[in-house]
Structure 1
């Protein structure tokens, strides 16, 4: 089916879906194939199969994980079928992506326990009626050794060493176990067996996902298109969201905790979070961006709306109302330390014997344009650390993780040690 064969309404629908599915994407490989698949869908009405693989290597889903889940939900809302593949077989090996050493293989009990947790959490976003839940042990476990050898023969070692992490380990003389080469092959087989039309994943999964295209071509099938989503920065605004780094928002966290953590997000990341992890429509997102750009929307209000939206999505409207009200009482009525303080990272190299000049810190975080202005604020009693007034213009502070530095009634910063 060609574009010219579609009527005006069908063409508009293809363009609408392309606009929705491209939202926030880091890369589409290749973009024209995605377009052609959507043209076929609109013309024939046969849903596309949209694949996402999840290795149950950790039991908790956080907001960063939901970037790809929201993309799947967008496809579901446009009439497509999601293939959610739990890597209960590949999870026993572990994805080598980004690792400097061979990963510990998970036990069968670990995999099954983590997989059960995933199933309970992903349906907070996905529509169960439009989700095909699969386990790749169903087709990978029965493979004979001869079939595995035949699969391995389709890809060269040189191709495998194109992976940056494998290359680094090889150049540094670090061990690469042969079984790690099989991980992308197995992920590719998931696409072959299930005849996936589109696969979604993070940018760090590009090599693995493209292997699916390679193996589908080898089998004589139409290769899947690929949508790669960026990795979401955590609450520190710098590093990828990760539970181990403590810069995460868990989807199962209590409403007040979820609201408060969101309010600690740096202002410059607010719109990115709206785009990547909320259910706002493209039209609402466009209006919000325009309001922020023009100055019509105050950053604090935009962040409060984001916090409200996330709590509403995972806990409901009543919980969101309660969390928003509690934040208002805490910040404005009790004048306690605010939940919405932006995070400012303090590097070890900036400290002398663990200390830093108070005046220098005020200018570095933007609370004062000059040292003289910083001293004036201190003399006026406007500077506090964790609610305690600091009055020595020559004083030093010993930053601790989570300290709240305040200048005036509305300027707050949360310190994070690096």
Structure 2
């Protein structure tokens, strides 16, 4: 693509809003006094793994980098300890410094799977907030009123519902905003749930003698339920580090209505082709399943490679279309008959005995004595004893299998 088309793609593809778009477009076209733009993204290391929902923003950073601009990644080692209230109906539990540092190390490895390391500056909030005195914090609070804070949607809902809002939570948007001051950010990007925080940074910078940063927000993708946004707390996510086969299978479970936003957010398939898909599906000349296979293949290629994506598709078709057990499933050594609940938990097919019982009650557990899907028996009794039968297979949920070795 030409530079003008690259700029248009950056400003349009998967984008929810650009604050003062004309200003950002001018900076992208005319340059920034000969210097690359400093494009800021803040991440709070609140978990050890990232989801493909995070990758939506990372891909947008990569588009800025391809135009020659610099990514400034802020590790929120202070704000993670406060807990980000964005989009939440309750306060998030704060983390210890040790938890934050451990999570941050895994975040960076996953981040650089997508974003160019050479064009990235990594900073930590502790560089400036460790030097903050009580007076500095109080002065920062003086830039916003309680009424202004309550304009934020999640705070407003909680206030009206009588759900507690802690004063520490009011600090979060201001701390994130001060990051932009400390880094002299030209642009800040984030999901639509971050719009309020990003705008606080834009408003704060002139008070410190800086030009206001430009704001670009991207559309959040829904989780595997097709309704709520993807999130680890909702367990409706796909991890960036998920194996290719697992990622492919989960993508194929996505409701049809969510395919378009996944295509736009996580692939470079053209809008013209996506429009053609939608038209043909509406006409009945194209099977939505074929489009979903294309979507899953494109996304798995993004996080793995083309060969892994092709192999994952073959495994998926073999498993679900031909109803065959995958060939590469893990083995479980069983020297004597064992209770089904205990076996599922020990094999890490469920997080606990209670989760295993719940899966059984929901009809999600099958025993294949011969290892063939045609001989599958649904397990309905949590007291079922799994025999030490060499070659038998246990299926838990839609995609988890183990092969028993006696």
TM-score tier (shorter): 0.7 to 0.9
The change in CA–CA distance for 1:101 and 1:324 in structure 2 (over 3 A counts) is closer
Aligned counterparts of 1:105 and 1:121: Cα–Cα separation in 2: 23
Which residue is 2:188 aligned to? Answer: 199
Which residue is 1:21 aligned to? Answer: 11
Contact 2:155–2:165 at 8 Å: present in 1 too? yes
Which residue is 1:127 aligned to? Answer: 116
Using the size of structure 1 for normalisation, the TM-score is: 0.73
Q: Secondary structure at the match of 2:73?
A: strand
- Give the superposition deviation at 1:53: 0.5
Which residue is 2:265 aligned to? Answer: 276
Asked if residue 222 in structure 1 is aligned to residue 211 in structure 2, the reply is: yes
- Deviation string, structure 1 residues 361-390 (Cα, Å, up to 9, x no partner): xxxxxxxxxxxxxxxxxxxxxxxxx999xx
Aligned counterparts of 1:18 and 1:217: Cα–Cα separation in 2: 28
Asked if residue 51 in structure 1 is aligned to residue 40 in structure 2, the reply is: yes
Moved segments of 4+, more than 6 Å: 401-404
Which residue is 2:367 aligned to? Answer: none
Q: Secondary structure at the match of 1:59?
A: coil
The change in CA–CA distance for 1:403 and 1:190 in structure 2 (over 3 A counts) is closer
Residue among 287, 312, 319 paired with 2:273:
287
- Give the superposition deviation at 1:115: 0.8
Using the size of structure 2 for normalisation, the TM-score is: 0.75
1:169-248 correspondence to structure 2 within 5 Å: 169-248=158-237
Contact 2:3–2:67 at 8 Å: present in 1 too? no
Q: Secondary structure at the match of 2:15?
A: coil
Which residue is 1:396 aligned to? Answer: none
Query: Which is further off, 219-228 or 142-151?
Result: 142-151
The change in CA–CA distance for 1:99 and 1:248 in structure 2 (over 3 A counts) is closer
Query: Number of residues paired by the alignment?
Result: 333
- Deviation string, structure 1 residues 335-373 (Cα, Å, up to 9, x no partner): 789xxxxxxxxxxxxxxxx99xxxxxxxxxxxxxxxxxx
CA RMSD of aligned residues (A): 2.8
- Deviation string, structure 1 residues 79-126 (Cα, Å, up to 9, x no partner): 111111110111110112233333322100111111111111111111
Residue among 35, 59, 76 paired with 1:87:
76
Contact 1:199–1:209 at 8 Å: present in 2 too? yes
Which residue is 1:35 aligned to? Answer: 25
Which residue is 2:314 aligned to? Answer: 325
- Deviation string, structure 1 residues 299-336 (Cα, Å, up to 9, x no partner): 22221122122222222222222112212322444478
Asked if residue 64 in structure 1 is aligned to residue 53 in structure 2, the reply is: yes
Asked if residue 115 in structure 1 is aligned to residue 115 in structure 2, the reply is: no
Structure 1: gaps of 5 or more residues? 1-8, 338-353, 356-385, 389-400, 405-418
The change in CA–CA distance for 1:176 and 1:286 in structure 2 (over 3 A counts) is same
Contact 1:169–1:175 at 8 Å: present in 2 too? yes
Q: Secondary structure at the match of 2:297?
A: helix
